[in-house]
Amino acid sequence: MSLEARLVVERAAFTLDLALDVRAGEVVALLGPNGAGKTTALRALAGLTRLSGGHVTLRGRPLHTLPAESRPIGMVFQDYLLFPHLSALDNVAFGLRCQGMSKTDARAAAAGLLERVGLAARAGARPRQLSGGQAQRVALARALAVRPELLLLDEPLAALDAHTRLEIRSQLRRHLADFDGVTVLVTHDPLDAMVLADRLIVIEHGAVVQQGAPAEVARRPRTDYVARLVGLNLYRGVAGGGRVEVGELLLHTSEPATDGAAFVAFPPAAVALYRTRPDGSPRNLWQARIGGIERHGDNVRVHLDGPVTAFADITPAALADLDLTPGQRIWASVKATETHAYPA
């Protein structure tokens, strides 16, 4: 393990208590809602926020006893914090100058880094003359310039518009793949986390609620927050005899769940809606009331109240056929093959 840390920071609203083990070359994303403590954790790693307890060890060396300027870190801030009075080149050269490199050498090295992020032509520009995407790349180059062992990224794509974000995300992924140190990034965007990270750590109220590979987290969410992020209906129930009891509902699942407390998850698109009780009585059928209807991408998302609250995604054509209105009572069913159960 290259980074090994336990971060305890007391805040008025919550206490952050987080254990981290990250290998060199690995990218870990801290994912969580606003105010969950993600940025606090990152600042604690950087030495910008004092730990109330715990430790930070990088390659066997304690970091938590060092001030921020002595830690072998590079940090990219949410709004980049490029020094407004310095050119892009001098921003990137700043850290090297602090390490005692001569102005000429630092600028030459910085020019090389700017070239790597594709901004050689903008070396002389001041930060306010850069576009959002360019500023993001300068910020990354500035953080990488000091050859950090620990790279910290705070919402690195949050300040970008959708189009730029797409492009910068894939570039950032490439740079992170090239980086051989430990990377910890903070985001509230599940897509950023899935694309950029090898492992997700989901934090709510200062504590880890779930962690694992992105695919694993996406398939088997363990909290409502994660389920919403990855777009699944999630229920907690009790498994027995190959079925899971959720409230008054008995759900058949694709694989038999082990007896005991269990989660059941299914995608909104797996839910079928009927005006009248369907013939042949499929499994996993229940009567629901329509709570609301909204546009969702190319489809329509129907909010269902009833024995369980659920989202159902149907096509606009289906919506027209069914002639649905809020408050109406309808039948809903979900295929067992698309319903997954796993131990809680």
Residues 143 and 132: their CA atoms lie apart, in Å, by 17
Side-chain-facing half-sphere of 114: CA atoms under 13 Å: 23
Q: Does 128 bind another protein (CB under 8 A)?
A: no
22 to 51, contacts with another protein by CB under 8 A?
46-48
Q: Does 222 bind another protein (CB under 8 A)?
A: no
One of 21, 61, 65, 98 touching another protein (CB under 8 A): 98
One of 32, 74, 190, 268 touching another protein (CB under 8 A): 74
Q: Is 335 helix (H, G, I), strand (E, B) or coil?
A: coil
Q: Does 99 bind another protein (CB under 8 A)?
A: yes
One of 8, 81, 111, 250 touching another protein (CB under 8 A): 81
Q: Does 67 bind another protein (CB under 8 A)?
A: yes
Could you identify the residue written with the tokens 């995604």?
A: 313
Q: Does 308 bind another protein (CB under 8 A)?
A: no
Q: Report DSSP letters for 293-307, one per residue.
A: EEEETTEEEEEEESS
Residues 341 and 11: their CA atoms lie apart, in Å, by 36
* Nearer of residues 99 and 170 to another protein, judged by Cβ: 99
Residues 175 and 344: their CA atoms lie apart, in Å, by 37
Could you identify the residue written with the tokens 């629901």?
A: 288
Q: Which stretch binds another protein (CB under 8 A): 68-76, 107-115, 248-256, 267-275?
A: 68-76
Q: CB of residue 150 vs another protein: minimum separation in angstroms?
A: 10
Least Cα distance to 15 among 225, 211, 204, 223 occurs for 204
The contact set with another protein (CB under 8 A) reads 46-48, 67-71, 73-75, 77, 81, 83-85, 94-95, 97-99, 142-143, 146, 152
